[in-house]
Structure 1
């Protein structure tokens, strides 16, 4: 697949693939996943991913969720062992609106205490549900054996103990250490002129 690449002055790489469709798909990939967590902080990368949609310096949780939903776009995110991805599907004319929101949640999230506690509960429920699935437990045991003593062997969700202790200070420290702009990629698949995407 042919695609174009441009590196911004701040180091963020833009990857672009032209596609003659009305719907655009785009994502930010951050070089920070569960492999980058320190001992005792298991589940931190995934916890941060949950909180990125909760509040920024200029937007409330509702404003973040409505920013794209009101124009029919879909916003979501996921965490892996090696990276975190924030992605959206949207109509072609709403790319600038989406980029503005991505920039806000990535660089201006505030991690308010009330939202942090709500998401802690959500993640603890997620862990409990996950632990009820034998096939997942087998995969975890295999990865723990394969990567013994390394964060790659840990569950992305963390444990009830670690998730129960994580706080905003941990999150800000992880972001500072792992969300460097020269290790970020913004990818766009849509019907645009590449020069306009770069602007």
Structure 2
């Protein structure tokens, strides 16, 4: 069986066997949460935090208002772009979770590895309306460690909880698990001995 050389992983499926350290974000050391994003499917606009905007070479102020998804896609490494596009389409077609690991090319030509996870929000009729997600920079040599990333996730979780954004909070909880942390409510449950 021939494997693709495109280093993109979605929904846990390994596509590139040439980059073993990229397979599992839990095995990768230092990384940094870049922030969250919201993609409105109907009008095609994606709003992103400033750090995500900079990673994708778009103006952070304009990113707050929302830009076409294509404005972000141009920064995805050319070797990853086709698979990225296909997997976004697949996720939307089934109103499913989006989970990808891919490269982006910075203005200076340097390459960064990103881990991206998104959750679909559907209408009452079951039609996908939007995706919301988080991006973590998993590039080796990052100056931030895993604890720093987890601290940022915990802060984002508190904001999501205060805003009653349960879907986003759930995604952040999942990201916390990926970086080896347990959300406070789970920590209480585990310490009370209710786990089996």
Relative to the length of structure 1, the TM-score reads 0.23
- In our comparison, the structure showing a higher alpha carbon Rg is 1
Structure showing the higher helix proportion among its residues: 1
Structure showing the higher strand proportion among its residues: 2
Relative to the length of structure 2, the TM-score reads 0.24
